[in-house]
Amino acid sequence: MKAVYFEKAGKEDVLIYGDVPDPKIGPRQVLVRVKAIGVNRKELMARERGPAEGSPSFTDGSEVAGVIEEIGSEVKDRSVGQRVVASTPAGGYVELLAVHRAGTVPLPETLSFEEGASIPNVFLTAWYALVKLAHVQAGETVLVQAAGSGVGMAAIQIAKHFDCKVITTAGSDDKVAKARQFGADLAINYTTDDFVPAVMGFTDGRGANVCQDCVGGEVLTKSIDAMAPLSRLVVVGNASQSPDAPDLLRRLGNKNCMFCRFSMPSAFKAGGVMDELATIMELCGQGKLKTLVDRSFPLKEVAACHRYLEDRQQFGKLVLVP
């Protein structure tokens, strides 16, 4: 089968599109013919780090959608020909994926493979941040940083699904307009306007009750300035790759803010993630939550896809198609 892998750290040119052996499945696994692969910023970081010491190569990718071609001898609740979304720690940039049956959920017929592959990571991250950690309540004001990111796009909708008011930021007028289409009550172009006074004005000086931040650095510091006393801050990433401000805890303490830093691997270790994903997929299948695929790239054009993501050109998700 064809796959994308890398043998050393570097820019997009280290990515290799080539042949690798077809996978064999175990008794509790299924073999998925991959139709679409979700692309995430963490895969850029993994490529820049390179394979782990002692590993000759590494295949990245953690979310796919496709059709089951084979089931293991102990698998009773999946069938050949079934459309599924699969979540895997790595190894998803492939044409065929062997994955534990527990790592799959059915893909509703109302969703395309590209839409299905775009959902798991970003919607699970936003769902855990807002619902499981921040416990958003109807009527609260939620500040979502980086509306153009997949996580931002998902968070806007999840907050609105729970009857919250949503303030969000984006880096262009076009992304601001799209954020409003997804339900944002106030969308701010952070390149031309300071979002802190805008948040304070929208909330009559109180600040946001909940903030989801995936940017870090100066944006994270300013997010705290825009939050209300006794509010909740959930950090889900650090796209700026900036170190935390040295006075971060003091700033949080001054407002008695609750602070959480979400980790997807830790959530998987704790269990229950795929049940949450099944709930999300059902809501997406019913049209109550909507994903947005900005662009699809052929798998062999993965380098162009990574460049597009690195340049922050997208609104929503990017997808690879084998």
Supply the pLDDT for residue 55: 87
CA 179 to mean position of chain CA atoms: 16
User: In the structure encoding, which two tokens stand for residue 125, read together?
Assistant: 């991250």
Per-residue pLDDT, 242: 85
Task: Give me the sign of the Cα torsion angle 204, 186, 173, 227.
Answer: positive
Long-range contacts of 73-80 (CB under 8 A, 24+ apart): 73/27, 74/27, 74/28, 75/27, 75/28, 75/29, 75/30, 75/101, 77/101, 78/30, 78/104
pLDDT of residue 112: 98
pTM equals 0.94
Q: What is the reported pLDDT for 305?
A: 97
Report CA dihedral (300, 301, 303, 309) to the nearest 10 degrees.
Answer: -130
Angle, CA of 297, 302 and 303, to the nearest 5°: 125
98-126 pLDDT, tens digit per residue, is 999 999 999 999 999 999 999 999 999 99
- List, for residues 77-86, the tens digit of each pLDDT value: 999 999 999 9
CA distances for 299 relative to 2, 94, 313, angstroms: 9, 8, 19
In percent, the amount of the chain with pLDDT more than 70 equals 100
Tens digit of pLDDT for each residue in 83-99? 999 999 999 999 999 99
For residue 54, the model assigns a pLDDT of 81
The pLDDT-based confidence of 152 (bands split at 50, 70, 90) is very high
The pair of three-digit structure tokens given for residue 245, joined into one six-digit string: 């401000």
Looking at every residue in the chain, the average pLDDT score rounds to 95
Structure tokens at 191: 């390149």
Q: What is the DSSP letter of 52?
A: P
CA distance 213 to 211: 6
pLDDT in tens, 264-299: 999 999 999 999 999 999 999 999 999 999 999 999
What are 165-186's pLDDT values in tens digits?
Answer: 999 999 999 999 999 999 999 9
pLDDT at 247: 84
Structure tokens at 113: 């493979």
Residue written as token pair 């980790």 = 263
Say if strands 186-189 and 293-298 run parallel, antiparallel, or are unpaired: unpaired
Phi then psi dihedrals of residue 177, to 5 deg: -65, -40
> With 90 as the cut, is the pLDDT of residue 243 above it?
no
Helix ranges restricted to H, 1-149: 41-49, 113-117, 120-127
**Contact of 152 with 182, CB cutoff 8 Å:** no
**Given pLDDT bands bounded at 50, 70 and 90, which one contains residue 241?**
confident
Query: Could you tell me the sign of the dihedral formed by the alpha carbons of 42, 44, 46, 48, in that order?
Result: negative
* Strands 227-235 vs 208-213: parallel, antiparallel or unpaired: parallel
Can you give the pLDDT at residue 313? 82
Q: In the prediction, which pLDDT does 245 show?
A: 74
- The full set of domains in the chain, from first to last, is 2-119+291-321 (3.90.180.10), 121-265 (3.40.50.720)
What pLDDT does residue 8 have?
A: 95
Q: What is the pLDDT of residues 11-65, one digit of tens each?
A: 999 999 999 999 999 999 999 999 999 999 999 999 999 998 888 889 999 999 9
